[in-house]
Structure 1
Amino acid sequence: MDSGMEIIIFLSYAAGLLVIFILAKIFSFSGRVIRRIVVNSLCGGISIILINIIGGSFGLHLPLNIISAFGVGTLGLPGIVLLALFCYR
């Protein structure tokens, strides 16, 4: 094996261990924290849908995906403004 392949294998193992560590941290949260994250994300998604309905006549369309819903649900009104600034051109 050449040294380039060995580096790739080492980095793959390191990335795998990092993913396992992150998953262990995520699942060590209590159910209350996970429930709160899910509820906030759902509220963020609903608010994005409402903004798309209202803002459709003004040419404002915010993408609805898990990242944007989580950001809006976590940050609230500043998250909506931030997403609108990124998406409105």
Structure 2
Amino acid sequence: MESFVVISLLLTLIILVMVFGIPLKFFGFIGQGIVKLTIGALLLFALNFIGGHAGIHVPINLITAAVSGFLGIPGVLALAVIHHWILP
């Protein structure tokens, strides 16, 4: 009985989306955020890979990936400076 309820709710949701539509701006905003988070994580990975010889290791999590993704290279450098001088 539970699977029937879940399937019927999903079908109802699909039908409502097909009839009324979903604003595409929302999905564009979410997509851009995901791309920036991914780029930020890749920048942090590169920093950890290159900075490993100098003892620089910035953890890759949602907050640091967001900072480096939305601020770019200056954000990565700021995280490295914060990690090196403020958080010994």
2:44 is equivalent to residue 48 of structure 1: yes
Q: Give 4+ residue runs of structure 1 displaced > 4 Å after superposition.
A: none
What TM-score do you get using the length of structure 1 for normalisation? 0.64
What TM-score do you get using the length of structure 2 for normalisation? 0.65
> Which of 55, 61, 66 in structure 2 is aligned with 1:59?
55
**Unaligned regions of 5+ residues in structure 2, if any?**
1-24
**Unaligned regions of 5+ residues in structure 1, if any?**
1-28
**Secondary structure class of the residue paired with 1:34:** helix
**Secondary structure class of the residue paired with 1:83:** helix
Percent of aligned pairs sharing the same letter: 33
Q: How many matched pairs?
A: 61
In the alignment, residue 52 of structure 1 is paired with which amino acid?
N
In the alignment, residue 43 of structure 1 is paired with which amino acid?
I
Q: Larger Rg: 1 or 2?
A: 2
